[in-house]
Amino acid sequence: MSETFTHRTPRARITAVTSGKGGVGKTFVSANLAAALAKRGERVLVLDADLGLANLDVVLNLYPKITLHDVFTGKNRLEDAIVPVAGGFSVLLAGSGMVEYSRLTPEVRDQLLATVEAVTPQFDRVLLDTGAGISDVVLYTISLAHEVLVVTTPEPTAMTDAYATIKVLATTQGRRSLQLVVNQVLKPGEGRTIRAQLQQVIDRYVSPSLEAPVTLDYLGDVPVDPAVREAVQRRELLLEVYPGTPAAQAILALAARIAARIAA
Amino acid sequence: MLFRAAAQSPTARLTLTLSATPASADPLPPSGAPAPAARVLKLEAALSLLSQSGHDLPVGEPGSAAWLQGLIDALCELSSRDALTGLANRRHFEMVLAREIDRVARAGEPALLLLLDIDHFKRVNDSHGHAAGDLVLKAVAEALLECVRPMDTVARIGGEEFAIVLPNCSPAFGPMVAERVRTKVERRPVLIGLTEKISVTVSLGGAFAPQWVRSNVRLWLERADLQLYSAKASGRNRSIFEPAVVSMVTAEEKGLLFSTSQFDDPSDESRDSHA
């Protein structure tokens, strides 16, 4: 009677990283969080599930020869598309030509499910970097994950879209706990304030119609940091090129909290 | 029918002793030494349950595999039905719902769950007696069955609460079915005495299973129940459906989201204490 694949515990923990709004640093957070978790000894895979507009390759400066597209079309084997990267983790890139997969046809659904099923035995954690928005592809991808990590920024539009995403996931997937990361905060404590704002609206407008309340599991925030911009422009991992900066330290702290959630 | 079946299965066979050889070969053991306890099936309760509920008794040679299969099938059927109305009971309904969720997750077919409740049913019982209440329940059950396709499941899931599971039901079709049910019940007075007739109405709440997503029974019920509650709260004798997409953020929600009162409020810290 589980609503996701939560009974497959010996396999990787699957975390969907989503945001509602694009441009909040979702892929940046996914990639650097993967590097931070890898530093903690986890075998991590980032799966670029943004099938329509994939950009994990851009963030990591990769020019993949074999992508998910080739796997989906049967041109290559799945294991050949899993690429180890500098951060000590692996990626599975969507690649270009995936536009035809941006609609949730039965084929896309089966392919996604088969891919996620096939990779989980080889890793401790799989991060599903979803596309922006709450399309049926995004919702389906999220339904494959044990937990959901919502990335937002203090921008009102980002907060609104994060809230809409949380609302949809709570009502359609029965999610009662969602992890929250607030990216690009300007001052210490801002992430907690954003979290309180979101939780307040959830308590008032979402939870009352459900059997159990929805709680945001606040993982922390990442400060605005010139090093992030620098790393993104160089198309390298922040954790690799500027590991000592405040933003990099914040990401390491997020990884520590995520690891503690599993241990608990 | 019942008597004929009973005559074919004399009471002597109510306790059936299984031999080591296949049951169909020789269902009765040689007289003499009693069979080990584990091989003795006491079927009296099962058979009297069937005959008391008006069910046909299994056909064939008592003790044969076919006869035992018939008995098991009849018991399964009995345990999935509501005794009063003959509709699916809650147990069977939840099984159907779980099966449907699986299908929706695999095939993406839209499936609808309708929950309905007889309006002011307590008044019927209070002013006309429970026998009249039972007649009303039966009449509503009949009306529901007339409104659905053979593939749909109609169940009585509580006192005066019913449910209909409609597989492969398009979103446009849902409200039509609900209205058909509502008007059918409303226009069918129930004869509760020699001449006395009463009319009842129903409220309905509907929710579609989220396509492609592996949901669960509790959640789907909860969503449909919420709509049923809205139908009751907004005056009864109506059907309300869950809005197709709940991703819209209302002005009220935005107002609260960006209200400044919570900013820099030190009491926020308590909420984060578990994090």
A201–B256 CB contact, under 8 Å? yes
Q: B222 and B138, same structural domain?
A: yes
Tens digit of pLDDT for each residue in B95-148? 999 999 888 877 777 899 999 999 999 999 999 999 999 999 999 999 999 999
- Higher model confidence: residue A4 or residue A141? A141
Asked whether residue B71 falls in the same domain as residue B32, the answer is: yes
pLDDT given for residue A109 in this prediction: 81
CATH number at residue A108: 3.40.50.300
pLDDT band, residue B35 (cuts 50/70/90): low
B100 and B234 within one domain:
yes
- Do the chains contact at B214 and A192, CB–CB below 8 Å? no
Please indicate, yes or no, if residue B258 is contained in any of the structural domains: no
Give the number of other Cβ atoms within 10 Å of residue B227's Cβ. 23
Q: Are residues B71 and B95 in the same domain?
A: no
Count the domains in chain B. 2
Select from A154, A147, A127 the least CA-distant residue to A36.
A127
Find, in chain A, the residue whose alpha carbon is nearest to that of B272. Answer: A218
pLDDT tops 50 at residue A1: no
Q: Look at residue A46 in the predicted model and tell me its pLDDT.
A: 95
Between CA A167 and CA B126, with CA B162 as vertex, the angle to 5 degrees is 120
CB contact under 8 A, B98 and A1: yes
Element (H, E) at B257: helix B251-257
Q: Please give the interface size between A and B, counted as residue pairs whose CB atoms are below 8 Å apart.
A: 103
How would residue B6 be classed by pLDDT, with cut points 50, 70 and 90? very low
* Backbone φ and ψ of B17, nearest 5°: -105, 125
Q: Are residues B122 and B23 in the same domain?
A: no
Is residue B172 situated within a structural domain?
A: yes
* Cβ-nearest to A218 among B216, B264, B272: B272
Taking CB atoms and an 8 Å cutoff, what residues of chain B touch A136?
Answer: 211-212
Among the listed residues A57, A3, A53, A11, the one whose alpha carbon sits nearest the alpha carbon of residue A30: A57
B256 in a domain, yes or no? no
Q: Is residue A157 part of a domain?
A: yes
Of B108, B212, B216, the CB nearest to A174: B216
Flag whether B260 is in a domain.
no
Q: Which of A164, A226, A182 is nearest to A26 (CA)?
A: A182
Distance from CA of B172 to the nearest CA of A (A): 19
Partner-chain contact B217 A1, CB within 8 Å: yes
Cβ-based burial of A25 (10 A; exposed 0-12, middle 13-18, buried ≥19): buried
What is the residue range of B131's domain?
90-241
pLDDT in tens, A241-250: 999 999 999 9
pLDDT of residue B219 exceeding 90: no
Would you say residue A5 lies in a domain? no
The yes-or-no answer on residue B146 being catalytic is: no
Q: Same domain, yes or no, for B107 and B75?
A: no
CATH of the domain at B178: 3.30.70.270
Q: Kindly tell me if the per-residue pLDDT of A122 is higher than 60.
A: yes
Higher pLDDT, B9 or B80: B80
**B18 and B135 both lie in a single domain:** no
CB-CB neighbors (< 8 A) of A6 in chain B? none
Is A164 in contact with B249 (Cβ distance < 8 A)? yes
Same domain as B179, residue B228: yes
**pLDDT class for A172, splitting at 50, 70, 90?**
confident
User: 3-state class of B256 per DSSP?
Assistant: helix
Query: What's the pLDDT at B63?
Result: 84
- Nearest chain B residue (CA) to A107: B107
Tokens 């008007």 belong to residue: B183
Look at residue A264 and tell me if it is in a domain. no
Spell out which residues of chain B touch residue A211, defining contact as CB-CB under 8 Å: 218, 222
CB contact under 8 A, B219 and A139: no
Residue A263 in domain = no
What does the pLDDT average to over A64-70? 84
How many folded domains does chain A comprise? 1
Residue A8 domain-assigned (yes or no) = no
Find where tokens 């609609």 sit: A103
At residue B22, does pLDDT exceed 60? no
- Confirm or reject contact between B210 and chain A (CB < 8 A): yes
Contact: B218, A211; criterion CB under 8 Å: yes
Co-location of B72 and B162 in the same domain: no
* B120 and B49 belong to one structural domain: no
Measured distance CA(A49)–CA(A52) in Å, rounded:
9
Q: Is the pLDDT of residue A98 over 70?
A: no
* Residue among B44, B160, B179, B222 flagged as catalytic: B160
Whether the pLDDT of residue A105 is over 90: the answer is no
Q: What ipTM, to 2 d.p.?
A: 0.80
pLDDT of residue A250: 97
Buried-exposed string B138-162: b where 16+ CB fall within 10 A, e elsewhere = ebbbbbbeebbeeebbbbbbeebbb
Q: Do B257 and A109 touch (CB under 8 A)?
A: no
**Chain A residues with at least one Cβ partner in B under 8 Å:** 1-5, 104, 106, 109, 134, 136, 139-140, 143, 156, 159-160, 163-165, 167-168, 171-174, 192-193, 195-201, 204-205, 209-211, 217-219, 257
Residues of B in contact with A172 (CB under 8 A): 210, 213, 215, 246
Does A64 fall in a domain?
yes
Report if pTM > 0.95: no
Q: Which of B100, B113, B213, B240 to mutate to test binding with chain A, by most A CBs within 10 Å of its CB?
A: B213
**Which residues from A are below 8 Å from B104, CB to CB?**
none
Please judge whether B215 and A106 are an interchain contact, meaning their C-beta atoms are less than 8 angstroms apart: no
| B255 part of contact set with chain A, CB < 8 Å | no
The residue segments making up the domain with residue A121 are 13-258
Backbone angles phi, psi at A147, to 5 degrees: -135, 160
Cross-strand pairs, A217: A179
pLDDT digits (tens, 9 = 90+) for B36-66: 556 788 888 899 999 888 888 888 888 888 9
Measure CB to CB from residue B268 to each of A164, A165, A193 and give the nearest one.
A193
The DSSP symbol for B13 reads G
* Neighboring chain A residues of B226 at a CB cutoff of 8 Å: 209
**Helix, strand, coil in percent for chain B, rounding step 5:** 45, 15, 40
pLDDT of B8: 43
